[in-house]
Chains A and B, each alone.
Chain A
Amino acid sequence: ELKVEQNPLFLSMQEGKNYTIYCNYSTTSDRLYWYRQDPGKSLESLFVLLSNGAVKQEGRLMASLDTKARLSTLHITAAVHDLSATYFCATSGSRLTFGEGTQLTVNP
């Protein structure tokens, strides 16, 4: 059974700081996704990572994928309050399998 584990599950950080969210998955997967979810809202696609060594950046967020280690990271640079949300990673075979989510709070 495919398992996807994120850590930390809760992250409180100050504006301007950097931090990394980790996503480990248990079996080989051909794609890794990162989604953002605001409270009571839907899932917004942030990144799709396709291959080993893939790195994608959008604003203050950068995602990377190491398929050999079965690890993806979401790095936050110089956090701002607007980044406060829950971030999910998910792997894909025939369906998406989500991690538990990381609830990020960015404090002024």
Chain B
Amino acid sequence: EPEVTQTPSHQVTQMGQEVILRCVPISNHLYFYWYRQILGQKVEFLVSFYNNEISEKSEIFDDQFSVERPDGSNFTLKIRSTKLEDSAMYFCASRGNRHFLEAFFGQGTRLTVV
């Protein structure tokens, strides 16, 4: 069964360092998303991406964040200078098309900023 895969599963980084979280969406999907979940809290939308550009972003997604689809398969989230409060689980999700109902989530990357 097709699935969204994320790497790494756990990333520990020092405050101020750059991190890149990687996602491989389901191969024929067109819409891609990043969400984050701070421990014990709800899932928050960060950004959506369609047709090689950002279609929507939340207020959390400031200039420290960027997304890229460098090739036909990967979808990455970069945090330029990590802060302690960036520690969270980051989920990638993908959806087939505008009318395709379900968003499928990857297993997540746990980011710990120390």
Give A residues with C-beta under 8 Å from B.
31, 33, 40-43, 45, 48, 50, 88, 90, 92, 94-101
Contact = CB atoms under 8 A, between A and B. Distances in A.
Contacts of B35: 96
Top 8 A-B pairs, shortest CB-CB distance: A98-B43, A43-B105, A42-B107, A100-B42, A95-B45, A42-B105, A48-B101, A98-B42
Interface of B: 33, 35, 41-45, 48, 55-56, 91, 93, 101-108, 110
Nearest to A30: B101
A51 to B, nearest CB: 12
A42 B108 contact: yes
The main secondary structure of chain B at its interface with chain A is strand
A31 B105 contact: no
Contacts of B106: 42
B48 A94 contact: yes
Given A42-B107, A88-B43, A94 B101 contact: no
B48 A31 contact: no
Contacts of A97: 45
B42 A42 contact: no
A54 B48 CA distance: 28
A33 B101 CA distance: 10
Contacts of B43: 43, 88, 90, 96, 98, 101
A95 B91 contact: no
A99 B35 CA distance: 13
B34 to A, nearest CB: 11
